[in-house]
Structure 1
Amino acid sequence: MEMSSARRALSIAALVIAGESVFLLPFVFARVFRPTLLEVFDLTNLELGTAYSVYGVVAMAAYFFGGPLADKFPARVLLAIALVSTAAGGLVMMAVPSFSTLVMLYAYWGVTTVALFWAPLIRATRQWGGEDEQGRAFGFLDGGRGLLAASVGSVMVLLFAGLLPADSEAATLAEKTEALHRIILVLSGTTFAAAVLVILSLPHRDPSETAAEQPLSLKGVARVAAMPTVWLQAAIILCAYVGFKAIDDFSLYANQVVGLDEVDAARAGVFSLWIRPFAAVGAGLLADRIGASTMTVTSFMLLAFGSLILASGLIGSGMVWIFLLTVVCSSLGIFALRGLYFAIMREGKIPRAYTGAAVGLVSVIGYTPDVFMGPLMGYLLDQSPGAAGHQHVFWVVTGFALLGLVASGCFARVTSRTR
């Protein structure tokens, strides 16, 4: 049954808000306030990376089993449960837990944000896009998520600055802790509100595309695993996601290499987030015209160039504008890829009835950077303090960007033969 234009707009808006709200506490918070979080929680870069890694390990299993769940149960129900459960974790975060408790919290979030959330989100978005607007659908999803993340990030920075003394460098540990407490509370409330919106706004699934009458099984996984395009898509996601994980270093790079204070470094991190809506939506709209695989190749080129500049050592203290321009280049590639790497499912001829199974399978491989990038970044930054550690991080990103370029070229060739 066709939805009205207003109902379609409300549905994609709900998916956008849910899609970013669920990650505000686990990732956006740390991305924007990384230097302050390390100080308040008394963590090293490696310890924070370890928490991310535990999240990633749990997520690997969660992606795999979450796919069949998404093919069986309504997205609105799974998404709402995931959002409420994730918001509850914010209460633990507010207590400034010990390192061991923080690790357990991230493991918990690995279940709530992935097993119950990720595949239903992608399936609902693919359903919204229909046969001819997959680029638009996923561009709107990630671009809208980016707009929300940037808006929330900007509000968080304003709130953070308002809660600290005029000279933020003179703020005490207690003042910084109280500021983070209030920000975590706001993020928890936002995540809970998103759950309410999802229940009220998302339609029930089209009966023609549901497997609810079938018992829960891995049949769909076996079917999509036989498709070469699925494995190439997994490689594309993996390489693109390495770049996405590296944006966690932008604010710390700004602080330790460019020489910005903690507030301005947080602003630099948010600046990257503002590029996301324009890159994702633009890439999605172009993908519907010239092909998602073609846009994927172009995006990896941008990512490789930007990360190479950050790795080269050309950026030093006080070079704010050169740093920001390089961040723009890298971010355009990173966020365009986020708007594309599920839009290519149509070109890969993955049956819509098995979208959840395909998402689960490619995500098990594609999101392995959740396991290794956090500890790897932490190790590189701690072992080579200052500019050298950041350069090592972006050499890694450059390498994966080049691998992604190869994988996306192969995907384009395979799909051109089957079209």
Structure 2
Amino acid sequence: MAEQAAMRPKKAGLDKKWISFGTLVLGAGTIYKLGFLKDAFYVPMQDFMGLSHTQIGAAMSVAGLISTFGFLASIYLTDRVSKKIMIPLALLGICLCGVWLSTFPSYTSFLLIYCLLAVCADMLYWPTMLKTVRLLGTREEQGRMFGIMEAGRGLVDTLIAFCALGIFSALGSTAEGLRAAILFYAAVPGVIGVVMYFLLEPDAKQDTTAQSESVSKNQQAWKGAVQALKNKNIWLVSCNIFLVYSVYCGITYFIPFLNEAYALPAALVGVYGIINQYGLKMVGGPIGGLISDKVLHSPTKYLRVGFLVTGVILAAFAYLPHEALGIWAGIVISLVISACVYSMRAVFFAPMDEVNVPREITGSAMSMASFVGYLPGAFMYAVYGSVLDSHAGIAGYQIVFTVMAVFALLGILLSTYIVKRIHPITK
């Protein structure tokens, strides 16, 4: 009986941990739906909100700029404001933005809403969510936690998108259908925000320094931000994320490549896109996490293996005699590359624990890694696109895939260096 009594608090703690984790995954799968409304409702946005291609593109660009600066600001904020406040605030903010967006406002208001969505999602929620996931898991669970989070996010993203499309279709694909879909996108994070407020514990803060001098929360947050910026290991992990994301940006071009090299039938484009965008994310995340934790016992070692496999296949794929291969060979090889990249993307924040980043500056570390790691999204699409525009036919894709392979090679070298640094740390 005594043993059972002793186990109950532990089990309760574990239950709350996984309930909190599951709710975080729900939030992660919904926070970007309004900001990327175009993914499912591009034409309805034009028809019923009166938006042009240029206006939608401009809004996305402005939001991207806000996100970039938001990640910088979050280096300070994530360790200054408790996750119990930050995460519900972000989710409820997204909910309110969605309600405003459902009124089909003027374009000036539309731009402001997209800026606010970027603030809520990228400055308030995302780095804080990464921090919380890290703190929920032990050192041995980091790969699995981040892997399952990525897979769950993909699943939730897919389900929410299909539900919104169902609502839109059920209401006759009209303006009211779009309005209802937007309100659905707003309601889900709003409900999750309320639930998270009651599930999350406030951050534990040390109110004194080593010399027992009283310090304010502002001083603690600034100290943590400066400590993160000076931490070489955080920079190394951030640069490794940068390299993974640079490769990730390139897999966008597999569909036009398959069309160019193999004349991919229109009927297969949608199927390939669903598998590549959603299926591999849901499969690759858990596999990458399990191999990291259970087989290699190191997320960084897994990233090194992933870079190696991806780089070798990319280099070969670029110069294969595609005219002599069947279309299914091209589809399978490109999906294998995508699966490797998605599995790496799922765990690329996990090395923070492996390199012994102090847990009290986790927020600053995750914000810094997000800023550096996601930077390729601001320019690599333009780089790859310009290469394809200036080199017609297969030649352009060969250059793009070679550049991706070079990033993978750099990733192998950087991962090896990080692994060598880890050994003296863990001894």
Query: Same fold, TM exceeding 0.5?
Result: yes
Rg comparison, structure with higher value: 2
Q: 1:197 is matched with which residue?
A: 192
Letter in 2 for 1:405: I
- Residue 280 (str. 1) matches residue 276 (str. 2): no
Which of 320-329 and 401-410 deviates more?
320-329
Q: Is the 8 A contact 2:139 2:354 kept in 1?
A: no
Change (3 A) 1:276 1:376: same
Q: Aligned partners of 2:98, 2:387: CA distance in 1, in Å? A: 29
Q: 2:212 is matched with which residue?
A: none
Q: 1:371 is matched with which residue?
A: 378
Which of 1-10 and 293-302 deviates more?
1-10
Q: 1:244 is matched with which residue?
A: 248
Q: Aligned partners of 2:340, 2:44: CA distance in 1, in Å? A: 28
Q: 2:125 is matched with which residue?
A: 117
- Residue by residue over 1:268-301, the C-alpha shift from the partner in whole angstroms, topping out at 9 and shown as x without a partner, is 1210121112221122122223211111111112
Which of 79-88 and 120-129 deviates more?
79-88
Which of 73-82 and 348-357 deviates more?
73-82
Q: 2:218 is matched with which residue?
A: 215
Q: Aligned partners of 1:37, 1:308: CA distance in 2, in Å? A: 40
Change (3 A) 1:248 1:20: farther
Matched residue of 1:356: which SS?
Answer: helix
Matched residue of 2:29: which SS?
Answer: helix
Q: 2:82 is matched with which residue?
A: 74
- Residue by residue over 1:161-203, the C-alpha shift from the partner in whole angstroms, topping out at 9 and shown as x without a partner, is x89xxxxxxxxxxx9xx69996796366235303312321462
Q: Is the 8 A contact 1:140 1:281 kept in 2?
A: yes
Q: Is the 8 A contact 1:52 1:374 kept in 2?
A: no
Letter in 1 for 2:307: F
Q: 1:169 is matched with which residue?
A: none
- Residue 398 (str. 1) matches residue 394 (str. 2): no
Change (3 A) 1:399 1:234: same
- Residue by residue over 1:372-393, the C-alpha shift from the partner in whole angstroms, topping out at 9 and shown as x without a partner, is 1232244334444655544443
Aligned counterpart for 2:421 among listed residues 399, 411, 414: 414
Letter in 2 for 1:21: T
Q: Aligned partners of 2:181, 2:271: CA distance in 1, in Å? A: 19
Which of 317-326 and 87-96 deviates more?
87-96
Which of 67-76 and 51-60 deviates more?
51-60
Q: Quote how far apart the aligned CAs of 1:56 are.
A: 4.0
- Residue 58 (str. 1) matches residue 58 (str. 2): no
TM-score by length of 1: 0.78
Aligned counterpart for 2:311 among listed residues 301, 304, 323: 304
Q: Is the 8 A contact 1:71 1:357 kept in 2?
A: yes
Q: Aligned partners of 2:166, 2:317: CA distance in 1, in Å? A: 27
Q: Quote how far apart the aligned CAs of 1:74 are.
A: 3.1
Q: 2:20 is matched with which residue?
A: 11
Which of 259-268 and 358-367 deviates more?
259-268
Change (3 A) 1:268 1:72: same
TM alignment of 1:251-262, pairs within 5 A:
251-254=255-258, 257-260=261-264
Q: Aligned partners of 1:394, 1:28: CA distance in 2, in Å? A: 30
Q: Quote how far apart the aligned CAs of 1:355 are.
A: 0.5
- Residue 139 (str. 1) matches residue 156 (str. 2): no
- Residue by residue over 1:41-60, the C-alpha shift from the partner in whole angstroms, topping out at 9 and shown as x without a partner, is 7759xx95x86655443323
Q: Is the 8 A contact 1:93 1:102 kept in 2?
A: no
Q: Is the 8 A contact 2:102 2:182 kept in 1?
A: no
Q: Aligned partners of 1:204, 1:333: CA distance in 2, in Å? A: 33
Which of 6-15 and 87-96 deviates more?
87-96
Q: 1:338 is matched with which residue?
A: 345
Q: Aligned partners of 2:194, 2:280: CA distance in 1, in Å? A: 30
Letter in 1 for 2:201: R
Matched residue of 2:140: which SS?
Answer: coil
Q: Is the 8 A contact 2:164 2:185 kept in 1?
A: no
Q: Aligned partners of 1:298, 1:138: CA distance in 2, in Å? A: 18
Q: Quote how far apart the aligned CAs of 1:363 are.
A: 2.2
Q: Aligned partners of 1:304, 1:355: CA distance in 2, in Å? A: 31
Q: Is the 8 A contact 2:307 2:409 kept in 1?
A: yes
Q: Aligned partners of 2:406, 2:112: CA distance in 1, in Å? A: 32
- Residue by residue over 1:255-277, the C-alpha shift from the partner in whole angstroms, topping out at 9 and shown as x without a partner, is 55544465642331210121112
Q: 2:234 is matched with which residue?
A: 230
Q: 2:363 is matched with which residue?
A: 356
Aligned counterpart for 1:83 among listed residues 71, 80, 91: 91
Q: Aligned partners of 1:326, 1:35: CA distance in 2, in Å? A: 33
Q: Aligned partners of 1:91, 1:313: CA distance in 2, in Å? A: 51
Q: Is the 8 A contact 1:254 1:268 kept in 2?
A: no
Q: Is the 8 A contact 1:56 1:367 kept in 2?
A: no
TM-score by length of 2: 0.77
- Residue 21 (str. 1) matches residue 30 (str. 2): yes
Q: Aligned partners of 1:326, 1:255: CA distance in 2, in Å? A: 15
Q: Aligned partners of 2:396, 2:176: CA distance in 1, in Å? A: 30
Q: How many residues align?
A: 400
Q: Is the 8 A contact 1:257 1:317 kept in 2?
A: no
Letter in 2 for 1:218: W
Q: Is the 8 A contact 2:306 2:341 kept in 1?
A: yes
Q: Quote how far apart the aligned CAs of 1:91 are.
A: 7.0
Q: Aligned partners of 1:228, 1:337: CA distance in 2, in Å? A: 21
Change (3 A) 1:143 1:101: same
Change (3 A) 1:71 1:27: same
Aligned counterpart for 2:134 among listed residues 126, 136, 151: 126
